[in-house]
Amino acid sequence: MMLGSDVSGLSATSAAAAAQGLSIVVPLYNEAAGLAALHERLIGLARTLHGRYRLGCEVVYVDDGSADATLSIARGLKAEALDVQVVSLSRNFGKEAALMAGLDHVRRGAVLFMDGDGQHSPDLVEKLVAHWIDDGYDVVYTAKANRDNESFLRRQAVHGFYALINWGARQKIPEDAGDFRLLSPRAAAALKQLPERNRFFKGLASWIGFRQIRVDYEPAPRAHGVTTFSPGRLIGLSIEGLTSFSVAPLRFASLAGVVLATVAFLFGLSILWETWTTGKSVPGYPSLVVGLMTIGGVQLIMIGIVGEYIGKILSELKARPIYFVAEHSEKRAESETATS
Ligand code: UDP
Ligand code: MG
């Protein structure tokens, strides 16, 4: 990087960008064991960023209804070099809702989303920030550099998921992009304007457009504990993402219907033809049963798909809040570093 700690090295545009500050949103669900260590690293990060860009930082911890000591530890964290907000949700609403709650509370311009389990390294943040401030990008997203440690089946499933969700979409969602990403002030403002209740964060962050750039990284192993996303929950999340973001499954349903109807029509023609040419009626009990079961099965699947969308419509219609805040506290950093 060409910039040293000398702030006069900043160009006018970079200085203007940095003046809006950075909010770091961290969703927390039972992360008591690693929280204090993470906070120390964020304090170090805030110092570095202030030294380099005069960038004022805050962190917004969103306690997503943790059952352990996460909230009490978060309350006790010191606002050193960066402001600290703690937003505690009334129960566990899930990560997407927690991210939304964080986004609703940020006080600075740019927003960085980061997991609270140490997998998203604070060290990489400097690079993300450089893409925003120095290069003028609006959405800096990260993607896992390799998936070698994941099973073949899982990789194929991920591949299929993105193929389906991006089918016919104008703005493609980049494959294997994670939730670790930085949004410039205008991108963050755009994301806030999206009103839907069923949120698929990766999709929305890509959909808003602006100048986007990808950064490959190697996620660190979880600092402690185990992932809360079991295969079952991931499948649920995928269905959620697909149906709240794309109508590809509905198109797929229509297409399957057309294909089946065409096959049935041709089959009918061939039966007619055979009857006419041989004069015998065609024995057809097995094919009849197979045909019936195929059509019945496909119809049930399609009704299920339509049902998913009706469920989405229902929940958008009810217009319930995405989360409830049980408690909110905030501390301002006293030092010079967070006050630009
Ligand atoms: N998380 C959350 N609410 C939940 C589940 C997870 O806020 O209901 C948070 C969790 O504390 C972590 C992040 O979301 O900061 C990612 O969770 P996890 O590490 O379990 O997922 P993975 O890294 O395996 O995708
Ligand atoms: Mg994790």
Under DSSP, is residue 324 helix (H, G, I), strand (E, B) or coil?
A: coil
Rounded distance from Cα 167 to ligand 2 centre (Å): 28
| Ligand that lies nearest to the alpha carbon of residue 92, given by its number in the listed order | 1
Beta-bridge partner residues of 271:
none
Choice among 132-141, 143-152, 289-298 with the minimum mean pLDDT: 143-152
* pLDDT at residue 197 is higher than 80: no
226-243 tens-digit pLDDT: 777 777 888 888 888 888
CA of 221 to the centre of ligand 2 (A): 8
Residues 6+ apart with CB under 8 A from 125: 24, 45, 49, 112, 114, 182
Closest ligand 1 atom to residue 28 Cα is 11
* Close Cβ partners of 282 (under 8 Å, ≥ 6 residues apart): 271, 274, 275
What number does the ligand 1 atom closest to the CA of 226 have? 20
pLDDT tens, position by position, 319-332: 888 899 999 998 88
| pLDDT of amino acid 1 | 43
pTM for this one? Answer: 0.76
Structure confidence at residue 282 as a pLDDT band (50, 70, 90): low
How far, in Å, is the centroid of ligand 1 from the Cα of 239? Answer: 18
Q: Find tokens 């986004």 and name the residue.
A: 103
Give the pair of three-digit tokens for residue 56: 């004022």
Q: How far is the CA of 229 from the centre of ligand 1 (A)?
A: 7
- Proximal ligand: closest to the CA of 114: 1
Mean pLDDT to the nearest integer, 62-77 = 92
CA dihedral 304, 307, 308, 311 (to 10 degrees): -160
Tell me how far the alpha carbon of residue 222 lies from the centroid of ligand 2, in angstroms. Answer: 6
Please report the atom of ligand 1 found closest to the CA of residue 178: 25
| CA dihedral of residues 21, 324, 43, 111 (deg, nearest 10) | -30
What is the share, in percent, of the chain residues with pLDDT greater than 70?
A: 93
Ion ligand 2: residues, CB within 5 A, are 115, 117, 119
d(CA 98, CA 36): 20
Q: Is 66 exposed, middle or buried (0-12, 13-18, 19+ CB in 10 A)?
A: buried
Among 59, 112, 113, 117, say which to mutate for ligand 1: greatest number of ligand atoms within 8 Å of CB. Answer: 117
Cβ < 6 Å from ligand 1: which residues? Answer: 27-29, 31, 64, 92, 94-95, 98, 115-117, 119, 227-229
- Mean pLDDT of all residues in 108-125: 89
Tokens of 39: 């906070």
CB count, 10 Å around CB of 300? 10
Least confident range from 40-49, 86-95, 255-264: namely 255-264
ipTM of the predicted assembly exceeds 0.90 = yes
Q: Which of 269, 55, 106 is nearest to 261 (CA)?
A: 269
| Tokens describing residue 307 | 């049902």
DSSP summary character for residue 55: -
* Residue pair 214/137 in contact by the 8 Å Cβ criterion: no
The residue contributing the CA closest to ligand 1 atom 18 is 227
